[in-house]
Amino acid sequence: MTLPEPPLAILAELSHRCPLRCPYCSNPVELERAGVEMDTATWCRVLDEAVGMGVLQVHFSGGEPTVRQDLETLVAHATEVGLYSNLITSAVLLDEARLGRLHDAGLRHVQVSFQAAEPELADHIGGFKGGHVRKVAVAEAVRRLGMALTVNAVINRHNVEQVDDMIALAVDLGAQRIEIAHVQYYGWGLKNRAALMPTRAATDQAIARVRVAEERLKGRLVFDHVVPDYYATRPKACMNGWGRRFLNITPSGRVLPCHAAETVPGLVFQSVRDLPLAEIWREAPAFQQFRGTDWMPEPCQSCDRKEVDWGGCRCQALAITGDAANADPACELSPFHDRLLALATTEAEAAAPAFVYRQFANAVEPAE
Partner 1 sequence: MTDQIRIGEESTPKLAAHVTMKFDKHRDRWVILAPERVLMLDQIAAEILNRCDGKSVAAIIDDLVATFEAPRQDIAKDVIAMLQDMADKGTIVA
Instruction: Please state the closest distance from residue 148 (CB atom) to partner 1, in A.
Output: 4
Q: Which stretch binds partner 1 (CB under 8 A): 6-14, 28-36, 227-235, 261-269?
A: 6-14
Q: Which stretch binds partner 1 (CB under 8 A): 170-178, 268-276, 313-321, 346-354?
A: 170-178
176 phi and psi, to 5 degrees?
A: -85, -25
Is 81 a binder of partner 1 (CB under 8 A)?
no
**Closest listed residue to residue 23, CA positions, set 354, 349, 248:** 354
Which residue, 33 or 245, has its beta carbon nearer to partner 1?
Answer: 245
* Beta bridge mates, 109: 86, 148
Is 248 a binder of partner 1 (CB under 8 A)?
no
User: Nearest 5°: CA angle at 295, between 234 and 289?
Assistant: 105
Is 57 a binder of partner 1 (CB under 8 A)?
yes
H/E element holding 125? Answer: helix 119-126
Is 82 a binder of partner 1 (CB under 8 A)?
yes
Instruction: Please state the closest distance from residue 59 (CB atom) to partner 1, in A.
Output: 7
- Binder to partner 1 among 1, 2, 120, 219 (CB under 8 A)? 219
Q: Tell me how many residues contact partner 1 (CB under 8 A).
A: 28
Instruction: Please state the closest distance from residue 139 (CB atom) to partner 1, in A.
Output: 14
Is 108 a binder of partner 1 (CB under 8 A)?
yes
Instruction: Please state the closest distance from residue 282 (CB atom) to partner 1, in A.
Output: 14
Is 6 a binder of partner 1 (CB under 8 A)?
yes
Nearest-10 Cα torsion for 316, 318, 320, 321: 130
Residues 36-55 that bind partner 1 (CB under 8 A): 53-54
> 148-155 and 177-182 as β-strands: parallel, antiparallel, unpaired?
parallel
Which residues contact residue 94 at a Cβ distance below 8 angstroms, ignoring those fewer than 6 apart?
66, 138, 141
Q: Which stretch binds partner 1 (CB under 8 A): 203-211, 213-221, 248-256, 351-359?
A: 213-221
DSSP 8-state symbol, 23: T
Asked if residue 169 lies in contact with residue 151, where contact means CB atoms within 8 angstroms, the answer is yes
Asked if residue 276 lies in contact with residue 49, where contact means CB atoms within 8 angstroms, the answer is yes
260 phi and psi, to 5 degrees?
A: -105, 5
Q: What is the DSSP track for 150-182? A: EEEEEE-TTTGGGHHHHHHHHHHHT-SEEEEEE
Whether omega for the bond prior to residue 63 falls within 30 degrees of 0, making it cis, is yes
By rule CB under 8 A, what string of x and - marks binding of each residue 294-333 to partner 1? ----------------------------------------
Q: Using CB under 8 A as the criterion, which residues of the chain lie in contact with partner 1 when the complex forms?
A: 6, 8-9, 53-54, 56-57, 59, 82, 84, 86, 108-109, 111, 146-148, 150, 171, 174, 176-177, 218-222, 224
